Amino acid sequence: MPRQDRFVSVQLYALREEMNRNFPAVIKKLAGIGYEYVELYHHAYGGAGAAELSRIVNAAGLKISGCHVGIADLENRLEETIAFLSESGCPHMICGWAEYPSALSPWQRARFFNLVGGKAREKGMLFSIHNHRQEFNFAGGRRILDIIMENTDPALVNLEMDTYWAVKGGADPARFQAAWTQRSPLIHLKDYNPAKNPDWAVVGEGIIDFAAVVKAAGETSGFVFDLDDSDDLYRDFAAALGAIKKLLE
């Protein structure tokens, strides 16, 4: 039997320009495809305020699973960003991008992420970090992502692993997910197809063993599809929704 608390969402980064032109239309299209959850990309709301954002999403019959926020917003506009997301009803704030310019950066980031996670928790939100390739680089003989996870408070900082970027970083996504699944309420599912250019792909159209990933994600509830771009995003979003639902059966 499938777990009843598991759900499928979709990250909207690839639709950011279209969302800023007509946010309600994008949300309605995703609802029409069959999505029940969306993972937002911060500032791509067409100028809608927090209450209006919530109204638009709910009116389409959707729920917000989380929102990606850049490191600049966390560093320079943390209170403002948390207040906006909290008012919009977002349950989960995710650092969608960070860089590590020095050998000490992973440890410095870990301390900062603890601060961010504490501020988010005060407003009833979870906080996670989302990896790209750079988090799988090494510092002092350890993967940066491991350093961050080992030096952050499990009550304050979670992980939203991206399967594609884990592979690009030289890691086995199933094995890595298994190591941190108790701190991973969300996971990004994106396939890797080395025969394509660009080489990201819809789930099931590449070489990643997603059955193993889902099995490893035993404590994970939200399975979020992400695709940076394609020649037909809505087609790919629909295909991914079907593929992920089948994996979760």
- In contact, 186 and 161? CB cutoff 8 Å: no
Largest CA distance in the chain: 50
Across 116-125, average pLDDT: 98
Q: For the segment 76-91, what is each residue's pLDDT rounded down to a tens digit?
A: 999 999 999 999 999 9
CA atoms of 199 and 192, how far apart (whole Å): 6
Supply the CATH number for residue 36's domain.
Answer: 3.20.20.150
66 in any annotated domain = yes
Nearest in space to 12 (alpha carbons), one of 161, 200, 228, 220? 228
Give the pLDDT of residue 3. Answer: 53
190 in any annotated domain = yes
CA angle 65, 5, 81 (to 5 degrees): 20
pTM score > 0.85 for this model? Answer: yes
Classify the phi-psi angles of 70: left when phi > 0, otherwise alpha if psi is within -120 to 50, otherwise beta.
Answer: beta
Q: Are strands 186-189 and 126-130 parallel, antiparallel or unpaired?
A: unpaired
Partners of 160 in the β-ladder: 130, 186
2 in any annotated domain = no
Per the structure, the complete domain to which residue 210 belongs is given by 7-248
1 in any annotated domain = no
- The per-residue pLDDT of the chain, averaged, comes to 96
Number of structural domains found in the chain: 1
Taking each helix axis from N to C terminus, what angle separates 105-122 and 78-88, rounded to the nearest 10 degrees? 40
Q: For the segment 198-220, what is each residue's pLDDT rounded down to a tens digit?
A: 999 999 999 999 999 999 999 99
